Amino acid sequence: MNKTLILIISGIFSLTLPNCKSGEDSEKDDLAGETLEITDIREEILISMLAPSDMAVMLIDNPDLYFNKDIINPTNNAVKYNTNSKIALNIGIYTADLSYASLFEQEQVTYDYLDIVKGMTEELGITNSIEKRHLDMIKNTKPDKEEMIRIINESFMNTDAYLRENNRQKVITMILIGGWVEAQYIAVTLSEGSMKKNAQLTESILAQKISLELMSKALENVTNDDVLLSLKNDIDRIYKAYLLMDTQLTDANFKSFCDLINEVRANYIV
Amino acid sequence: MNRNIFKYILITFLVGTSFSYSQAQCIDLVKHKGFTYLDTSKYIPEARFNALPLREGDDVDIYKSFFKDRNYRIVVVGAENMPKLNFKVTNFQRQTLYDSNVTKMESWDFISDKNQNLIISVQVPKAEKDTKPKSGCVAVVVGFTY
């Protein structure tokens, strides 16, 4: 198929209309020029990495788990994120957090975090992806977890579609990486670093190796973008930790994996 | 000179708006036709947006993770002006797990027997000889159940 044609058309569109997006002043925009690097990230329509909300469902939707507000990224951290890269990464992190809250039917937390994500997406010039009706539905209709997941997934799909429309693969890739790491962070925290704590949770954590493989594949052509190279390095380190557990699934290797996830996540939320 | 600048702006605007229009059609395709075939009363749509404009004769592969014991429905739909699409689901060794050419269905329901990355290959049949290939949106919608 003519994938090159699609990339060229996307490229023309983004290169000719780079200043139409709001919230991207050049001083704080370390994603400026992102559209020039479309060859760095493999066209991700081909590699459909998991969204943070889907990641949370696959990983931590488990009746033996519980909601702990103390472990998620506090909303007051949002004001610290003053570069577009940090905003993108933490949109993914907050989306994973609100998905975790929704799985335990924490309407108020879900609402507060979705509102924060709405503000952050608007800072990146993504308008109308999270609609007021989405927030109202969570606040006013007391949805169960399935309904909340539908609302969250729809709003995420709007964001994803907007970014694709505007050829902003780098932003969506960073959101997905942030979401992946945060969902894993929640899972390993709930596991308390022990694979014996909850067998189903351990199995789910190990299962996510395949989604990380797709992420690695999506990033394999990244060579000259410092921000993406740094994230790629994190992904590679996590993948190596998975390989170690494949070779020998010991308490020590599992604990090392959990520690690594904690370290990477701590670096993303500062 | 001014005329050339005007021509450039006009071409840029037309390319931009037509691309944007086709993408707007893509999200409509996902949310209307895609979700109808998915049957959102049974399946929760996943959050990723897997749709793009294609032409007759084009094909695309989508790599996606599926998890053990989950019930999935994969739906492949095209815009109204597009011919009936073919899609195959294969593993990374290219062994075919599903082929819509055999079933003639727009969707495939399955329970993943393991954690696995699969390839959804969508093919738009070629245009008839001596006709201009049509183009339109193609969407892959995936849903899961509890």
Instruction: Give pLDDT, residue B4.
Output: 59
Give how far A75 is from chain B: nearest CA, Å.
Answer: 23
Task: Provide ipTM, 2 decimals.
Answer: 0.85
Q: How many domains does chain B have?
A: 1
Dist. CA A10–CA A243, nearest whole Å:
37
Examine residue A244 and state whether it is found in any structural domain, yes or no.
yes
CB contact under 8 A, B68 and A207: yes
CB contact under 8 A, B15 and A13: yes
A185 interfacial to chain B (CB closer than 8 Å): no
Examine residue A184 and state whether it is found in any structural domain, yes or no.
yes
Cβ-proximal residues to A105 (8 Å cutoff; 6+ apart), any chain = A144, A145, A148
At residue A251's C-alpha, the angle toward residues A99 and A238, to 5°, is 50
Strand locations in chain B (E): 44-45, 51-55, 59-66, 71-78, 86-90, 96-99, 107-111, 116-123, 135-144
Examine residue A15 and state whether it is found in any structural domain, yes or no.
no
Q: Which residue has the tokens 């997006």?
A: A21
CB contact under 8 A, A149 and B64: no
Residue B145 CA from chain centroid, whole number: 21
Instruction: Give pLDDT, residue A150.
Output: 94
Which of A16, A164, A211 is closest, CB to CB, to B65? A211
Helix (H) or strand (E) holding A48: strand A47-48
Instruction: Give pLDDT, residue B6.
Output: 54
- Nearest alpha carbon to residue A144 among B1, B44, B122, B126: B44
Instruction: Give pLDDT, residue A43.
Output: 45
Interface of B with A in 75-94 (CB under 8 A): none
Instruction: Give pLDDT, residue A167.
Output: 86
Q: What is the DSSP letter of A130?
A: S
**Regions of chain A where pLDDT drops below 50:** 1-29, 33-39, 41-45
Residue A38 identity: I
Examine residue A14 and state whether it is found in any structural domain, yes or no.
no
Examine residue A233 and state whether it is found in any structural domain, yes or no.
yes
- Nearest alpha carbon to residue B108 among B71, B57, B54, B81: B71
Which domain, by its residues, includes B6?
2-144
Dist. CA A116–CA A138, nearest whole Å:
14
Q: How many domains does chain A have?
A: 1
Examine residue A17 and state whether it is found in any structural domain, yes or no.
no
Instruction: Give pLDDT, residue A127.
Output: 85
B51 interfacial to chain A (CB closer than 8 Å): yes
CB contact under 8 A, B60 and A53: no
Contacts of A213 in chain B (CB under 8 A): 117
Examine residue A189 and state whether it is found in any structural domain, yes or no.
yes
CB contact under 8 A, A48 and B55: no
Give the pLDDT means over successive 10-residue stretches in chain B (146 positions). Answer: 54 48 81 97 96 93 96 97 96 96 95 97 94 95 94
Question: Strand, helix or coil at B140?
Answer: strand
Its pTM stands at 0.86
Examine residue A45 and state whether it is found in any structural domain, yes or no.
no
Domain of residue B49, CATH code: 2.60.120.380
Q: Find which of A103, A157, A201, A246 to mutate to test the B interface (most B CBs within 10 Å of its CB).
A: A157
Instruction: Give pLDDT, residue A97.
Output: 98
Dist. CA B108–CA B106, nearest whole Å:
7
Which domain, by its residues, includes A100?
51-269
